A = this chain, B = another copy of it.
Amino acid sequence: MVLLPSKNALSLATGLKQRRAKLARLINYPVILWSGSPLGRNFSANKYPFRSSSHFLYFAGIPLPNAAIYLKEGRLELYLDNPPPSATLWHGETPDRAEIGEAIGADAVYPLNELSVKTPGAATIAVQDSVTYQQQCQLLNRFVPLSHETTGIDLELARAIVKLRSHHDDLALQELRQASSVSVKAHQAGMAATSKAKSEAEIRSGMEGVIIASNMTCAYNSIVTVRGEVLHNETYQNPLQPGDLLLADVGAETPNGWAADITRTWAVSGKFSSTQKDIYEVVLQAHDDCIAKIEPGVEYQDIHLLAAEIITRGLVDLGILKGNVEDLVAMDAHALFFPHGVGHLLGLDVHDMEDLGDEAGYETGRSRSDRFGLSYLRLNRPLQPGMLVTIEPGFYQVPAILNHPDFRHKYRHLVNWERLAQFKDVKGIRIEDDVLVTDFGTEVLTADLPTKIEDMEKLVL
């Protein structure tokens, strides 16, 4: 069922008009964006919760299944079929095309089958679901390249959309703040649930329960684990042991699709061991210093390299790495323990616009590095006001890396393996916040959630 915005309907329509006016300044041919179709799970009537295409959401504002918008010269036409009369039996009274069009400030509304006359010469972005994708190709009467390999006018459109979506307007920030606020509460609830929880699943329940109670969804599959070294761990079956650290990477998404992305790592018992504390403070230093360095004009890759440097220095000070910090970073020794990038763009997608490949994350002309310590960096652009990025340094003891013969050999003189063995109770630590680049520096949208050990301890105990 489509829910229309209530109080801020005017500002929604106004904000959306501004977005399409901006698009019209960048693109002088028509654009059609499809929302996508709900996908069947085990059978067609049992659907996954519907998620509109993010590009559609950006210009249409609200999630409408099986809809398309036609954008030209700042005008928006909504193409959407009214629900059949039988739908009121199952779904109650739902707003019709005209009411929805008014709420989003459409200039005209039409049934979906009238879209076909508008398709010649239109640019688009391929949606995720292959049923709608086939409709795109059929209606446009041409091959539509997949979204991460766009060409021609579709690529120009993608680049124009990247320009717009990279700089969040007030409408976006309103949603992003809501997502952040609920995500902060979810993490607080996770900490509060820890003392009584017996499994990862119970902490996850406490966290996602806040998101569900707030009428939001998870922006991505939560990671809630005592095995933080498994970077994309999406199972929750481990029991909690008193000496464990728990890593929780959980973020909410508003009903209109805007995301937050927060990670905290806290002690199951409330108390960090001295080794856990030592490493945690290194990661926290990287987190704090990276955020402090953010301002317009700074290269995001330099933020990443700053994190690498601070983590390396910390590990040298702890006797885990040996040598000169600069040389160690140049040799990617940090990546033995911090193998991912320091963060990414955040917006309608948790990795914002990642459907476009590196088109959003990488400045035109730049591409991924082959270096072990840089290849996973998702963002390589100079920062500009209105960009929202995550800052998420980490430390992990990943057996697949640390036991890999090539790495053991390459770094044999640079790692004090015996010293490292003393830190075996530190499996994975990550600290992640959502940082808005402002005209003069930063605003941390997730700043209400503590990062200091003693502050987290108060919430856990």
> A-side interface residues toward B, CB under 8 Å?
1, 3, 39-49, 51, 53-54, 85, 88-93, 128-131, 147-148, 199, 201-202, 204-206, 208-210, 212-215, 220-221, 227, 229-237, 257, 339, 348-351, 353-355, 398-401
**Would B3 and A235 count as touching, CB distance under 8 A?**
yes
Give Cα A51–Cα B48 distance, bound, in whole angstroms: 10
Among candidates B204, B209, B355, B401, residue contacting A44 with C-beta atoms closer than 8 Å: B355
Question: A41 contacts which chain B residues (CB < 8 A)?
Answer: 48, 51, 128
Question: A257 contacts which chain B residues (CB < 8 A)?
Answer: 42
Distance (whole angstroms) from the CB of A105 to the closest CB of chain B: 22
Question: A354 contacts which chain B residues (CB < 8 A)?
Answer: 43, 45-46
Residue on B with the closest CB to A203?
Answer: B213
Among candidates B91, B148, B209, B232, residue contacting A209 with C-beta atoms closer than 8 Å: B209
**Would A230 and B44 count as touching, CB distance under 8 A?**
no
Give Cα A371–Cα B201 distance, bound, in whole angstroms: 47
**Would A205 and B201 count as touching, CB distance under 8 A?**
no
Among candidates B42, B205, B235, residue contacting A355 with C-beta atoms closer than 8 Å: B42
**Would B44 and A339 count as touching, CB distance under 8 A?**
no
**Would B221 and A236 count as touching, CB distance under 8 A?**
no
**Would B89 and A401 count as touching, CB distance under 8 A?**
yes
Distance (whole angstroms) from the CB of A210 to the closest CB of chain B: 7
**Would B128 and A44 count as touching, CB distance under 8 A?**
yes
How often does this chain occur in the complex, in copies? Answer: 2
**Would A201 and B220 count as touching, CB distance under 8 A?**
no
Give Cα A3–Cα B129 distance, bound, in whole angstroms: 27
**Would A3 and B213 count as touching, CB distance under 8 A?**
no
**Would A128 and B51 count as touching, CB distance under 8 A?**
no
Question: A90 contacts which chain B residues (CB < 8 A)?
Answer: 230-232
Residue on B with the closest CB to A221?
Answer: B49
**Would B128 and A42 count as touching, CB distance under 8 A?**
yes
Question: A348 contacts which chain B residues (CB < 8 A)?
Answer: 42
**Would A47 and B221 count as touching, CB distance under 8 A?**
yes
Give Cα A48–Cα B220 distance, bound, in whole angstroms: 8
**Would A43 and B355 count as touching, CB distance under 8 A?**
yes
Distance (whole angstroms) from the CB of A63 to the closest CB of chain B: 11
Given the interface pairs A43-B355, A91-B230, A355-B44, the reply to whether A201 lies near B221 with Cβ below 8 Å is: no
Given the interface pairs A201-B213, A208-B209, A209-B212, the reply to whether A43 lies near B351 with Cβ below 8 Å is: yes
Question: A45 contacts which chain B residues (CB < 8 A)?
Answer: 351, 354
Give Cα A204–Cα B221 distance, bound, in whole angstroms: 19
Give Cα A3–Cα B200 distance, bound, in whole angstroms: 15
Question: A236 contacts which chain B residues (CB < 8 A)?
Answer: 215
**Would A131 and B130 count as touching, CB distance under 8 A?**
yes
**Would B206 and A237 count as touching, CB distance under 8 A?**
no
Give Cα A398–Cα B93 distance, bound, in whole angstroms: 10
**Would B220 and A212 count as touching, CB distance under 8 A?**
no
Question: A130 contacts which chain B residues (CB < 8 A)?
Answer: 130-131
Beyond known contacts A1-B234, A41-B48: 13 more, CB 8 A cutoff: A1-B233, A43-B147, A43-B349, A43-B355, A44-B128, A44-B355, A88-B400, A89-B400, A90-B230, A92-B229, A92-B233, A93-B400, A202-B213
**Would A231 and B43 count as touching, CB distance under 8 A?**
no
Among candidates B49, B54, B92, B202, residue contacting A42 with C-beta atoms closer than 8 Å: B54
Residue on B with the closest CB to A43?
Answer: B355
24 interchain pairs, CB-CB under 8 A: A1-B234, A39-B48, A42-B257, A43-B54, A43-B147, A43-B351, A43-B353, A44-B128, A44-B355, A45-B351, A46-B354, A48-B48, A88-B400, A89-B401, A90-B231, A92-B229, A92-B233, A93-B399, A201-B215, A202-B213, A205-B209, A205-B210, A205-B213, A206-B209
Distance (whole angstroms) from the CB of A38 to the closest CB of chain B: 10
Give Cα A326–Cα B32 distance, bound, in whole angstroms: 56
Distance (whole angstroms) from the CB of A392 to the closest CB of chain B: 15
